[in-house]
Amino acid sequence: MNPRRRRIRHGKTGDTMKAYTIRWGRYALELGPRTRIMGILNVTPDSFSDGGRYLDAEAALRQGEALVAAGADILDVGGESTRPFAPEVPAEEEVRRVAPVIEALAGRIPVPISIDTTKAGVARRALDAGAAMINDISALQADVQMAPLAAERGVPVILMHMRGTPRTMQVDPVYEDVVAEIVAFLAEAVQRAQDAGIARERIIVDPGIGFGKTVTHNLQLIARLPEFAGLDVPLLVGPSRKAFIRKLLSEQPDEALPPDHPAVETGTQAVVAACALNGAHILRVHDVATTRRTLKLADALREVGRT
């Protein structure tokens, strides 16, 4: 067995959850014994949860430092909203938003910064500014230069499943078996990344909660996360304040609660715990401090299940 991978008994199902270590540059991420937290920093005017709040560079810097102080293991910086029906942002504008923030934060925080983009030009400028990971919601398909860039720089990449684009993904998404189809998609994405020269030990996958899925699809994905273990790469899940949580908690059947409603964070934390217990290695969230407390309990429960 690869000495950097050890098996952890999954406390709920009795299956095994693999642990991984990703090493690159000056960073090392131990994934498995403790569920890691990716803090979200949206430098955008229109993100669904906090759009406009951190568009100002100084506000973004303060928030980035606050997320790390609260316990974020990775900071994910994005300059283009990927909410449903969001308009596309030109690469030059995306760079203008993220590059100064990344450059300033890279010298102030000890954790790796991830650039959340589908554009190779934006990713390159972000890496030059100090980013150390690429989070591509298109799984390297939107820009043919993204995979060669990631391979050249030797940085970890996050490959996400999305049906269509942010402009089209929520228009009547249909699957015969949502989990099986997404596992197959991600297996192909991992192979495509490897074929482009990206080392397997630097690949992370994301089933894409809320990206071209109905409420039921999202619930099925979370309940069946152990089925992604066969991909043999770390698993990231991003459920934070997503519409399926806001719809399930709403008293109005055709309306979702607003993202800043107090009940939405409560619902997010319930899903965070379920994801951790079902095998997620990384949770991508807005509220790092609350998530850290939730994961202390979820990880303790999983640890008990190993004995």
Q: Can you tell me the distance from the alpha carbon of 107 to that of 131, in angstroms, rounded to the nearest whole number?
A: 11
- Among 213, 241, 284, 302, the active-site one is 284
Q: What is the dihedral of CA 266, 51, 222, 171, to 10 degrees?
A: 130
- Among 125, 242, 246, 302, the active-site one is 242
153 is catalytic: no
- Cα distances from 11 to residues 5, 54, 98, 226, in angstroms, run 18, 39, 40, 11
Sequence-separated (6 or more) residues with CB below 8 Å from residue 79:
43, 44, 89, 93, 94, 95, 96, 97, 98, 116, 117, 122
Residues paired with 113 in a beta bridge: 75
284 is catalytic: yes
The region, left, alpha or beta by phi > 0 then psi within -120 to 50, assigned to residue 52 is left
- SS percent in the chain: helix, strand, coil, step 5: 40, 15, 40
Closest to 99 in 3D by CA, of 138, 131, 135, 145: 131
* DSSP one-letter string for 170-184: TSS---SSHHHHHHH
DSSP structure class, residue 82: -
Residues identified as active-site:
242, 284
